[in-house]
Amino acid sequence: MPAPARRAWPGAASMQLLEHLSAIAGRFGGMLIDQFGVIHDGEKLYPGILDTLAHLKRAGIPVVVMTNSGKRADANSRRLVAMGLDRSLFVDAMSSGEIAYRYLSATAPRRVYLIGRDGDEYGFDNIEPVADPRDAELLLILGSNAPRTSLDQYREILSGLTVPALCCNPDRLMLTRDGLQPAPGAIASLYEEMGGTVEWIGKPYPQIYAAALSLIGNPAEALCIGDSAEHDVAGGRRAGLRTLIVRTGLSADLDRFDPEPDYLMDRLTW
């Protein structure tokens, strides 16, 4: 079915503090919920998440897990299930990596230099990977190897290159066991500062929202839930969605948000 016409929200007139999602859930025909920092902390599910998603399912409110992960959607779904999330509690995952994969599948095969985390498999079987970035026609920025690889080391790798880059994870910071570290978006921003051309895919850019909403039938009203004003609020607002920030993940210690969400919760509970 065609997507309904949407308008970008100009901003919340006043941010509403919530104790429980149940206070507003009935207003929405679907929810797009961020993965890292909202559903889990990178290693385990946050308390109350299973109960919250179970209540949404019983209420008939479909959920898509949205993530700025360079890995494809199915890999992210499997990871959630491995953490203990019942697969029946969400319709599907939609990742920036999945959007990038579809984008590359629609273009001619090309030699690609892949930037990612050591040991990770991203599932991009539609490219010809090269070992030397000077042999590439495209830089594919899927992940970050920080802190093992520093931004200065990435600067050395990218030095002198003129090929275009596709950044499949616009996040500039990521949660790791070593604290906050530069994420793929920081590497892509560095390449732009060095004169490179970067195309960005993922939150807050529109392609991922259109793909996620299509999975739940393009409801007239949907709520975007995340932990980053820069990505979840800005992107959700551009897509015509109401937005909710939880004070977990990247926003754990924040009291001010720019742009400001419509709703604010300490953590996602029913």
Distances (CA, A) of 30 to 37, 240, 261, 263: 20, 13, 17, 16
Give yes or no for residue 4 having a pLDDT over 50. Answer: no
β-bridge partners, 141: 115, 167
CB 262 within 8 A of CB 243: yes
Cβ neighbours for 105, distance < 8 A, ≥ 6 positions apart: 126
Q: Considering all CA atoms of the chain, what is the largest pairwise distance in Å, rounded to the nearest integer?
A: 55
9/240 Cα distance (integer angstroms): 6
74/183 Cα distance (integer angstroms): 21
Please name which of 6, 59, 53 lies closest in space to residue 29, comparing C-alpha atoms.
Answer: 59
Q: What angle do CA 103, 222, 255 make, to 5 degrees?
A: 95
**Model confidence band, residue 176 (pLDDT cutoffs 50, 70, 90):** confident
pLDDT tens for each residue of 34-50: 999 999 998 999 999 99
Measured in degrees and rounded to the nearest 5, phi and psi for residue 235 equal -70, -45
pLDDT tens for each residue of 107-122: 866 899 999 999 999 9
Average the pLDDT over 89-115 and give the result: 92
pLDDT for the residue 110 = 81
**Which stretches of the chain are DSSP H helices?**
49-58, 73-82, 96-105, 151-158, 184-193, 206-215, 234-238
CB 182 within 8 A of CB 155: no
Average the pLDDT over 152-158 and give the result: 97
The whole-model pTM stands at 0.88
Domains of the chain, CATH where assigned: 16-98+203-265 (3.40.50.1000), 109-200 (3.40.50.1000)
The pair of structure tokens assigned to 14 is: 């006043």
pLDDT for the residue 251 = 84
Give yes or no for residue 136 having a pLDDT over 90. Answer: yes
Helix (H, G, I), strand (E, B) or coil at 58: helix
β-bridge partners, 198: 165
- Choose between 249 and 245: higher pLDDT: 245
The pair of structure tokens assigned to 204 is: 């807050």
